[in-house]
Amino acid sequence: IIFASSKASYKDPVYRMMEPAVGQGLVSGSGPTHRAHRKIIMPMLNGKALATYLKYFNIHSHYCADLLEDKVNSGEFDIRPFITNCTSDMTL
């Protein structure tokens, strides 16, 4: 019942700090933008759909872990490209 209220869809101003990095969408957006994005993505996030994606999440996360394992004891490195590639592989 709370979520039926349009006031409940507005997020705290602290989320605005994320906007430069992620834009205004599902994570940082609020109000009509957030509702529209949530309406699009929610059918893909039901339990049955997520169960079908689990196989691919496992494959890609193990691959990423193998790549990161090669970096062990090699000093400091930027993890962002590994995580970015893993995330995009999972979603494509």
| E strand intervals along 31-71 | none
Query: What is the mean pLDDT of the segment spanning 71-92?
Result: 89
Domain spans of the chain, in order of start:
2-43, 47-91
pTM above 0.75, yes or no: no
Query: What is the mean pLDDT of the segment spanning 50-77?
Result: 90
**Short-list 40, 41, 15, 20, CA closest to 30:** 15
- Residues 2-47: tens digit of each pLDDT: 455 555 566 677 777 767 776 766 666 777 777 787 888 888 777 8
Q: Is the pLDDT of residue 1 over 60?
A: no
Contact 82, 68 (CB under 8 A): yes
Mean pLDDT for the chain overall: 79
From the CB of residue 86, how many other CB atoms can be counted at a distance below 10 Å? 19
